[in-house]
Structure 1
Amino acid sequence: MDILSNLLIGAESALSMANLFYCLIGVLLGTAIGVLPGLGPTTTIAMLLPLTAGLPAESAMIMLAGIYYGSQYGGSTTAILINLPGETTSLVTALDGYEMAKRGKAGRALAAAAIGSFVAGTIATLIIALFAPPLAALALSFGTPEYFSLLVLGLVSSIVLAHGSLFHAVAMVLLGLLLGMVGTDVNSGIARYTFGIPELSDGIGFVPLAMGMFGIGEIIANLEHETSRQTLVKKVNGLLPTREDLVRMTAPVLRGTVLGSVLGLLPGGGMLLASFASYSLEKKVSRNRAEFGHGAIEGVAGPEAANNAGAQTSFIPMLTLGIPANSVMALMIGAMIIQGIQPGPSVMTEQPGLFWGLVVSMWVGNLMLVVLNLPLIGIWVKMISIPYHFLFPAIILFCAIGAYSLSNSTFDIYLTAVFGIAGYVLRKLDAEPAPMLLAFILSPMLEEYLRRALLVSHGDPSVFVTRPVSATLLFIAAALMVAVFLPVLRRNRKLAFQDAD
């Protein structure tokens, strides 16, 4: 009954005319962004953060969430039509979706992606409603040592699941922690790491950092690789799957939903991992395994269900624990902070309309995606052909306006430009900036819980290992670090011996 009453609270919030409008704007923007290769939800949400400051908290979060899971759907359109995924999570969809399009089945492939995403989104929303409350109740029983250890585990997990070099990931986390410490120390009132710049006394703004790293940096990188994009089909027909298609899709969609729901909880690349895992599983268990790579509808429906389910369940650690599972969730936490809301388990009790309204809006948004996006496929096809050099000046202008409007400070524009250049350099060095953003968000909380725990224990650091839950979380974090670094160290040692010989 508690879940039913909570969902009724959420329905009252999500089904208001204002929030339905913002949900619609979110899913349409998300689909459009997902369709355009080179842009993504991280870049878009980073650019739109300043706009959310003037919206009610519920409307802002509902719109940003719609952008997120809408982009997961939109990325499949370019993957199927031009073999160029708009989102990394749609990489797997391109394998069989593009082959189906080449055989004149583009409409059926797009329908499979849409239906798979809707079913997975619906089930994942129910999972959030069922499992988020007990997880939040457990988190409310945590003390400061447990919260510190939990945040450490979150940072370690982001290192383990980051793309590219592990040493780069560690460096990015340390850089994020340092950037999060810039500003005035709460206890002593002394400015630190400000280098005498008065504008930094309140710390580095989250919006300039996010827009620079993920907005400007991404734009500069995309300009290097702009290519002419030709759609495979100018007009898409046959948007209804056949009965045989539905039979072949059912089991892959359900299996993909289960995989995505579990892996979406993992910090880092849970959704991408879910897509690949779903494709690999279907390739092994399908009766039509010979068709994989040549246009198997299971290879479209399963991964699309997995990545959409992962996108939904990644909200669970963000909403209940205040720990982001990926860079988009870090931005969502930033949006909550801008709204004056402290992320964590208290959100469910202090802001029930926000929490449950966001949950119910996910189902509403997924329904909107199915009802609206298939009829609008012609518009998305035309958008794919827009040259990127026409888009980037408007995007940069929008970033500059957003950076200035939040606090009416030109310094924030300069800061955005500096972080934009830094983001581009990091990409050239194959250093993924996402772990840095997660560390930047968690740094103030990590420091706060560390100080509180040491204050309560009178400076005794053993408090982190003498409390069972805290010790278990730290042990898991240490085990993950050892497990992921041992192969690297062994390989480096082997290469060193070979060089010596």
Structure 2
Amino acid sequence: MELFDHLSLGFGVAFTFQNLIYAFVGCLLGTLIGVLPGIGPLATIAMLLPATYGLPPVAALIMLAGIYYGAQYGGSTTAILVNLPGESSSVVTVIDGYQMARKGRAGPALAAAGLGSFFAGCVGTLILAAFAPPLTEIALKFGPAEYFALMVVGLIGAVVLASGSLLKALAMIVLGLLLGLVGTDVNSGVARFSFDIPELTDGISFLAIAMGVFGYGEIISNLSRPDEHREVFTGDVHGIMPTAADFKRMLPAVLRGTALGSVLGILPGGGALLSSFTAYTIEKKTKLHPGEVPFGQGNIRGVAAPEAANNAGAQTSFIPLLTLGIPPNAVMALMVGAMTIHNIQPGPQVMTSNPELFWGLIASMWIGNAMLIILNLPLIGIWIKLLTVPYKWLFPAIVLFCAVGVYSTNNNVFDIWMVALFGLIGYIFIKLGCEPAPLLLGLILGPMMEEYLRRALLISRGDWSVFVTRPLSASLLAIAALLLVVVLMPSIKKKREEAFVED
């Protein structure tokens, strides 16, 4: 009953004219920037943060949240139509989505992505509403040692679930952690690994690495292929909505993707990206129905499951932000910035000290998901027209959008050079078969882990046993150790390697 009281308060806040307008603006902007490869929710939210100064806190957060989950919808559009993910979480949607477009089934692919995202978004929001209060109670018991242990679990989980070689996934995590060390030490104020380059004293921009590795790296990889493999398909498009057989195959895939995304979204560093990768892997190893298209050749389940997973993950990634006060990914870190601008301290006290903001934000997500499905389904016909644009005209525009997006965050040309450098590194990763997702997780969580580690040691006066004497911290570290032991067992390792092999 208490949950319904809270939700009625939230809908009362979200259904005001002002908040509805900002929810719509956020969803529209999110869809548009999701469609434009390279800009992404991170750059857009960073650009719009100053514009939220004059807004009421609830309206500002509703708009920024709309941009985030709206971008998960929009990201699938370019993945399906032009074989390039608009969002990093749409990387796996490319595999089958683009093949569907080549066979003239772009409409059903886009509809599957939209409907799967809508269902998963609604379920994710319901989970957020139901589990946020009990998690807040647990959050109050968290200290620096517990936060550090929680992030260790997140990183180990990323290694376990990353596709391909375990050693490569571990190497990418370590590389991400090392890149996170670049910048000024919080405690001493001394610049570390900046090599006397002034721009590196603030650290390496997450945006530069993400855009370089996923955006430019993908473009270089595309340009290295023969013309016929990168030209956008220009054949006939038949049917916009999925058939009855498509719906029959999609439904279990969407349910699996939603369940997976809802769980992984809560993990620090998990969110939409990890969810979509794992959902696709599980679908690939699920038995094909008679007459079903193989994966990699245009299977609708390969579109519906990852899209449902990344949207559910996007919604439930608000749980650690709103209950524990820790951002599980870079976009949530910007949401922390937005809350700080409005003098709101993220963490367990938000629910008690500012219930209108907390429940208003949750209620706005249901409204936002409904707005997105209404916005996106009629636009399918317009997006399909993009199929007639050759890739040789598209990629310069994509390069430009990436450059504009990264420059606009700091107004610094150095960041554009960094994107170019990480574009080359991203291309090398593709050639070596390294998945870049763990690198980004290491980069996000590294500085936070270091801060909590040092804070815990300061409180305990340098006593390392603080991590194993506190029950919550010891339990989380035990889970991390168990995950590592299980995945290193020869039989499990063999099965894992078989599961992640690309057909």
Q: CA deviation at 1:150?
A: 0.8
2:262 matched residue in structure 1: 261
1:124 matched residue in structure 2: 124
Q: CA deviation at 1:219?
A: 3.0
1:464 matched residue in structure 2: 467
Would the alpha carbon gap of residues 75 and 356 (structure 1) be closer, same or farther in structure 2, given more than 3 Å must change? farther
1:425 matched residue in structure 2: 428
Partner deviation per Cα, 1:352-372 (whole Å, 9 max, x = no partner): 666545433432333233323
TM-score normalized with structure 1 length:
0.77
Q: CA deviation at 1:378?
A: 1.6
Partner deviation per Cα, 1:256-298 (whole Å, 9 max, x = no partner): 54454345546363333234545766x58xxxx4243389988
Question: Which of the residues 412, 430, 434 maps onto 2:437?
Answer: 434
Q: CA deviation at 1:480?
A: 1.6
Would the alpha carbon gap of residues 351 and 93 (structure 1) be closer, same or farther in structure 2, given more than 3 Å must change? farther
Separation of aligned partners in 1, 2:65 and 2:119: 20
Q: CA deviation at 1:131?
A: 1.1
Q: CA deviation at 1:462?
A: 0.8
Separation of aligned partners in 1, 2:422 and 2:84: 28
Q: CA deviation at 1:169?
A: 2.2
Contact 1:137 1:345 in 2 (8 A): yes
Does residue 151 in structure 1 map to residue 154 in structure 2?
Answer: no
Would the alpha carbon gap of residues 179 and 94 (structure 1) be closer, same or farther in structure 2, given more than 3 Å must change? closer
Q: CA deviation at 1:23?
A: 1.5
Question: Which of the residues 71, 76, 81 maps onto 1:68?
Answer: 71
Contact 1:330 1:441 in 2 (8 A): yes
Amino acid at match of 1:25: L
Q: CA deviation at 1:170?
A: 2.0
Q: CA deviation at 1:379?
A: 0.9
Q: CA deviation at 1:381?
A: 0.9
Contact 1:153 1:477 in 2 (8 A): yes
Partner deviation per Cα, 1:182-229 (whole Å, 9 max, x = no partner): 223232232222222233333333333333333333333333346122
TM-score normalized with structure 2 length:
0.77
Amino acid at match of 1:128: L
Contact 2:80 2:97 in 1 (8 A): no
Separation of aligned partners in 2, 1:296 and 1:191: 50
1:264-303 to 2 correspondence within 5 Å? 264-265=265-266, 267=270, 269-277=274-282, 283=287, 289-293=289-293
Does residue 213 in structure 1 map to residue 213 in structure 2?
Answer: yes
Separation of aligned partners in 2, 1:431 and 1:393: 26
1:367 matched residue in structure 2: 370
Does residue 17 in structure 1 map to residue 21 in structure 2?
Answer: yes
Q: Secondary structure at the match of 1:292?
A: coil
1:190 matched residue in structure 2: 190
Does residue 55 in structure 1 map to residue 55 in structure 2?
Answer: no
Q: CA deviation at 1:299?
A: 8.3
2:501 matched residue in structure 1: none
Contact 1:176 1:443 in 2 (8 A): yes
1:497 matched residue in structure 2: none
Question: Which of the residues 433, 437, 458 maps onto 1:455?
Answer: 458
Does residue 473 in structure 1 map to residue 476 in structure 2?
Answer: yes
Separation of aligned partners in 1, 2:421 and 2:84: 30
Single out whichever of 213-222 and 305-314 deviates more from structure 2. 305-314
Amino acid at match of 1:374: L
Separation of aligned partners in 2, 1:397 and 1:194: 28
Amino acid at match of 1:360: A
1:36 matched residue in structure 2: none
2:418 matched residue in structure 1: 415
Amino acid at match of 1:274: A
Separation of aligned partners in 2, 1:437 and 1:108: 32
Separation of aligned partners in 2, 1:211 and 1:94: 21
1:316 matched residue in structure 2: 319
Q: CA deviation at 1:159?
A: 1.6
Q: CA deviation at 1:142?
A: 0.7
Would the alpha carbon gap of residues 93 and 322 (structure 1) be closer, same or farther in structure 2, given more than 3 Å must change? farther
Would the alpha carbon gap of residues 28 and 407 (structure 1) be closer, same or farther in structure 2, given more than 3 Å must change? closer
Gaps of 5+ in 2: 53-59, 495-503
Contact 2:45 2:64 in 1 (8 A): no
1:93-242 to 2 correspondence within 5 Å? 111=111, 114-225=114-225, 227-231=230-234, 233-234=236-237, 236=239, 239=241
Contact 1:156 1:477 in 2 (8 A): yes
Aligned pairs, number = 467
Contact 1:152 1:474 in 2 (8 A): yes
Amino acid at match of 2:49: A
Single out whichever of 209-218 and 254-263 deviates more from structure 2. 254-263
Contact 1:121 1:309 in 2 (8 A): yes
Q: CA deviation at 1:181?
A: 2.3
Amino acid at match of 1:62: A
Amino acid at match of 2:279: A
Q: CA deviation at 1:457?
A: 1.4
Would the alpha carbon gap of residues 324 and 97 (structure 1) be closer, same or farther in structure 2, given more than 3 Å must change? farther
Partner deviation per Cα, 1:415-441 (whole Å, 9 max, x = no partner): 333333333333333333322222222
Q: CA deviation at 1:146?
A: 0.9
Separation of aligned partners in 2, 1:126 and 1:186: 38
Separation of aligned partners in 2, 1:476 and 1:179: 26
Partner deviation per Cα, 1:229-253 (whole Å, 9 max, x = no partner): 225533535x4866x9878876665
Separation of aligned partners in 2, 1:401 and 1:303: 29
Separation of aligned partners in 1, 2:321 and 2:376: 28
Single out whichever of 147-156 and 404-413 deviates more from structure 2. 404-413
Partner deviation per Cα, 1:324-370 (whole Å, 9 max, x = no partner): 66xxx334424544774776555656776665454334323332333
Amino acid at match of 1:18: Y
Contact 1:69 1:312 in 2 (8 A): no
What is the alpha-carbon root mean square deviation over aligned residues? 4.0
Separation of aligned partners in 2, 1:300 and 1:175: 30
Would the alpha carbon gap of residues 146 and 59 (structure 1) be closer, same or farther in structure 2, given more than 3 Å must change? same
Contact 2:161 2:278 in 1 (8 A): no
Does residue 445 in structure 1 map to residue 448 in structure 2?
Answer: yes
2:500 matched residue in structure 1: none
Q: CA deviation at 1:382?
A: 1.0
Separation of aligned partners in 2, 1:365 and 1:190: 44
Question: Which of the residues 31, 35, 38 maps onto 1:27?
Answer: 31
